[in-house]
Amino acid sequence: MVDLKGKDILDGAQFTREDTEHIMAVADDFRRRLQDRPSLDLLHGYLLAALFFEPSTRTRLSFETAMHRLGGDVIGFSSAESSSTSKGETLADTIRTVDQYADIIAMRHPRIGSAQEAADVAEAPVLNGGDGAGQHPTQALLDLYTIRDECGAVDGKTIVLCGDLKNGRTVHAGVELYKHYGCKLILVAPDQLRMPADIVTQLRGHGMQVEETPSLETALAGADVLYMTRIQKERFADQSEYEQLKGSYILTREMVERICPKLTVLHPLPRVNEITTDVDALPNAAYFRQVQNGVYIRMALIALVMGKV
Ligand code: NCD
């Protein structure tokens, strides 16, 4: 296993199965320890900078919650407009500045490769909370953790990835983890938003069974997990194309009950219209438990990177 102390978390592909198993075991331990107390004091006196140049609800608040529950403190900003980026400051200069204050940096930015750019100039470890349509490794780890939790194991599961597989950074990171677990992937996307061909080729080269179908109903027959995603409006140059594609796939309660009553339904959120709200009351709907799991996984990552576990 790679010692994560001082390491950046940039990409799903950086993890081996041993790494993901260890991170999940540390998350389990934190979950257990928080059962009878609100927080730990493992990172007392340490500072996390949460630099969010793009909108976020869960990822930013989850990183902040994780740091607070570890006993540490948080600084940061939640939009590029409220930072000196709006005055023309480069990312590198902003990161060099924050590096003078913080012990660890969690960042989200609209540009692919921005997390690596930040890591190149920061001494503090950088945790990528999403770089454009690139990667979102902490989300991928909490997704994996949720599948393990909900299904009992990840090995050999059939996972349907549905929605915007071209621009969705959570699925780009996720497939790099599922490939360690012998999962079968069924990719469901509008033709314009299919998973990039180089990723599919790479996964097949790794021995993974990867199928593509435009039909969600076909994919759901025999699936263990549905990972539903939002069409990524902000990545479209032509908004009329977004309008045309946004209703492509919608999961309803009727579909779950008729086709796959044992299905586990995940979604990184935010949801727009791709899962009807009547699914929420089903035991299959795991997406709010997934949110909770994000705190334990981010606690584990922060503590590991800080060398405290
Ligand atoms: C995702 C993201 O920002 O990539 N959300 C998240 O982090 N939970 C998914 C999305 O925005 O659609």
Q: d(Cα 119, Cα 106) in Å, to the nearest integer?
A: 11
Q: In this prediction, what percent of the chain has a pLDDT beyond 90?
A: 99
pLDDT value at position 25? Answer: 98
**130 within ligand 1 shell (Cβ under 6 A):** yes
Cα(107) to ligand 1 centroid in Å equals 13
Average pLDDT, the chain: 97
Cα(36) to ligand 1 centroid in Å equals 31
pLDDT value at position 76? Answer: 98
pLDDT value at position 94? Answer: 98
Q: d(Cα 15, Cα 181) in Å, to the nearest integer?
A: 12
Atom 8 of ligand 1: nearest residue by CA position: 268
Cα(163) to ligand 1 centroid in Å equals 12
Q: 104-122 pLDDT, tens per residue?
A: 999 999 999 999 999 999 9
Cβ atoms of residues 72 and 46 within 8 Å:
yes
Cβ atoms of residues 119 and 10 within 8 Å:
yes
Q: d(Cα 9, Cα 2) in Å, to the nearest integer?
A: 12
pLDDT value at position 269? Answer: 98
Q: Which residues are known to be catalytic?
A: 58-59, 87, 108, 136
Q: 172-203 pLDDT, tens per residue?
A: 999 999 999 999 999 999 999 999 999 999 99
Burial 222-258 (b: 16+ CB within 10 A, else e): ebbbbbbbbbbeebbeeeeebeebbebbebebebbee
Say whether pLDDT at 293 is over 80.
yes
Mean pLDDT along residues 29-48: 98
**137 within ligand 1 shell (Cβ under 6 A):** no
User: What are the two backbone dihedrals, phi and then psi, of residue 7, each rounded to the nearest 5 degrees?
Assistant: -85, 155
pLDDT value at position 156? Answer: 98
pLDDT value at position 39? Answer: 98
For tokens 């790099």, the residue is: 176
pLDDT value at position 1? Answer: 72
Mean pLDDT along residues 167-171: 98
Mean pLDDT along residues 289-296: 98
Q: 121-149 pLDDT, tens per residue?
A: 999 999 999 999 999 999 999 999 999 99
Q: 224-240 pLDDT, tens per residue?
A: 999 999 999 999 999 99
Q: Which of 139, 143, 231, 246 to mutate to test the pocket of ligand 1 (most atoms within 8 A of CB)?
A: 139
Residue 88: pLDDT band with limits 50, 70, 90: very high
Length of the chain: 309
Cβ atoms of residues 159 and 183 within 8 Å:
yes
Give the Å distances, CA to CA, from 58 to 66, 155, 180, 195.
Answer: 11, 27, 26, 24
The encoded tokens of residue 77 equal 């900003």
Say whether pLDDT at 2 is over 90.
no
Q: d(Cα 75, Cα 301) in Å, to the nearest integer?
A: 18
